[in-house]
A and B are shown apart, each in its own frame.
Chain A
């Protein structure tokens, strides 16, 4: 019996194969990456719309901002575990099933996009309004100002909130896992916790932390490169 088998007696038999540790890692990465991508694009879009239509925005539009602002607030107010349940019929309609990592993507994206939208809005609010005014005075179009001023000047801040959001998504995937999404969260709860196999819980936790630290590490490097 090797050392590893002694410390992790319950992990070794389920390392590979269906519902194994490797698969759980893959599922967590799968859910995190696709959620980050889809919610990232959606949240960025919504965040930019919030900035533009705000009272002092380039395309100020009070009713539009009012509605979007409220929608974002309401979606953010729903506890994720409740959102999972509420979204179940929608998920079934879109994906065809309520179980598995792909099905988990639907509530993950719906839960993450508004969170990220607000983060994007706050990140872009740090862009000096004077610089926006200068760009307007130079004859830039609103689209030009979004891409060449907001997204450029706010980039290091966007990276920062992006990292924050991805880390929160890793956390959410664990929760989604617990209700049938798979991944490391599912591993920790469905196997480790339910069967009193503490070594499985620890291994799941270690891999979750490794993913979080990697995201933070890469994010910090990028943010540092962007800062002048």
Chain B
């Protein structure tokens, strides 16, 4: 698929000057988002991700760097041109930011009022409310809706001016898991049906895992790791990235439980407790069977998790491998050759 850059941030720096100190919220960040991407930016609060995405529509002006959106150097625009450009970039928020004094239909119509004929607005609002599944609540007020419904209104409003980009600022962070999942599915379908490019910032790797095709991990104003979803999940390099992924997979909890099992407690050399991580093609092979047949090594599976990321299987197994030292060495060589990442989980070491 031929992609083109729709957002390019080049050496973006944002510094907040306070009386006694200055805070480096974003530290020389480069970011390229291509048309059709659902780009996840993940990090803990205070990592600078909200500040970074606000640079895209210049709600936050960078201290240094260049911002190119839809082929336009954003910093070269005057106020009027910038406002016109902002209509091409929708935005949804953690706390929805709906106007309580207006009905749902009026909220969705809000960005269109003043420069669009009334009949056209009405048709557009009906269409959008249908799209987000709230056609029957048009005349309700925001106070009458649940969090998930409010976010659907937020999405409909963001889409009213037919943007090509949607910025999602922790849009699911105030929602329960089930609602979160439904909202993410909606975003994914908008991406597929409308070709909407989405930049999604979150502190939940779960959300990224569900819909993003690319991920960047932010810490202290910098992007410390980035890549396709599969690459990041299969071969994370930074500890923070690993932490995020493990939390999502609930490996920490699983490992703690596994360590308490007799099979692990009574582990004797050369047997080893290891974590096997594999992606895509390697999953198709009957891994465990192969190890036994070829190398006479038995694999006692203590924990297993296989997920489909972007249509590709992604597996994590915690196993005890038993056999002679020579057989085990050959096994590790074989696994490495077949793109299975092996991580030794020794007794005292924290994974």
User: Could you list which residues of chain A lie within 8 angstroms of chain B, going by C-beta atoms?
Assistant: 128, 130-131, 133-141, 144, 148-149, 152-153, 155-156, 226, 228
Contact = CB atoms under 8 A, between A and B. Distances in A.
Contacts of A133: 59, 93, 97
26 contacts: A130-B97, A134-B97, A134-B157, A136-B59, A137-B57, A137-B167, A138-B86, A138-B91, A138-B110, A138-B111, A138-B161, A139-B82, A139-B83, A139-B84, A139-B86, A139-B111, A140-B83, A141-B79, A141-B80, A152-B101, A152-B102, A153-B99, A153-B101, A228-B101, A228-B141, A228-B142
Contact of A137 (B59, B98, B101): B59
A139 B111 CA distance: 8
B99 A131 contact: yes
Nearest to B91: A137
B258 to A, nearest CB: 44
A228 B106 CA distance: 14
A131 B143 contact: no
Nearest to A132: B97
Contacts of B83: 139-141
Nearest to A144: B114
Contacts of B82: 139
Interface string B16-46: 0000000000000000000000000000000
B110 A130 contact: no
> Chain A binding site: helix, strand, loop or mixed by DSSP?
helix
Interface in B37-89: 57, 59, 79-80, 82-87, 89
Interface string B116-128: 0000000000000
A149 B111 CA distance: 12
B154 to A, nearest CB: 8
Contacts, number: 62
B324 interface: no
A133 B169 CA distance: 12
- Would you list the 9 A-B pairs with minimal beta carbon distance, nearest first? A139-B86, A130-B97, A134-B97, A139-B83, A228-B141, A137-B91, A139-B87, A138-B111, A131-B97
A146 B161 CA distance: 21
Question: Most chain-A CB neighbours within 10 Å: which of B84, B111, B167?
Answer: B111
Nearest to A226: B101
Interface size class of B (residues with CB under 8 A): 20 to 34
A131 B95 CA distance: 9
B143 A228 contact: yes
Contact of B99 (A136, A139, A149): A149
Contacts of A148: 110, 113
Contacts of A144: 114
A97 to B, nearest CB: 45
A134 B91 contact: yes
Given A134-B97, A144-B114, 20 more contacts: A128-B95, A130-B93, A130-B97, A133-B59, A135-B110, A137-B57, A137-B86, A138-B110, A138-B157, A139-B84, A139-B85, A139-B86, A139-B111, A148-B113, A152-B99, A152-B102, A153-B99, A153-B101, A228-B141, A228-B143
B100 interface: yes
A115 B87 CA distance: 38
Contact of B89 (A130, A137, A155): A137
A141 B115 CA distance: 13
A153 B80 CA distance: 24
Contacts of B141: 228
A138 B143 CA distance: 22
B70 to A, nearest CB: 14
Contacts of B101: 152-153, 155-156, 226, 228
A137 B110 CA distance: 12
B349 to A, nearest CB: 45
A63 to B, nearest CB: 17
Interface in B246-268: none
B322 to A, nearest CB: 58
A148 to B, nearest CB: 7
Nearest to A137: B91
Contacts of B167: 137
Contact of B93 (A134, A152, A153): A134
B56 to A, nearest CB: 10
A155 B83 CA distance: 26
A135 B98 CA distance: 10
Question: Most chain-A CB neighbours within 10 Å: which of B82, B97, B161?
Answer: B97
A227 to B, nearest CB: 9
Contacts of B89: 137
A222 B95 CA distance: 28
A136 B113 CA distance: 15
Nearest to A140: B83
B67 to A, nearest CB: 15
Nearest to A155: B101
Question: Most chain-B CB neighbours within 10 Å: which of A137, A139, A149?
Answer: A137
A156 B100 CA distance: 11
A11 to B, nearest CB: 46
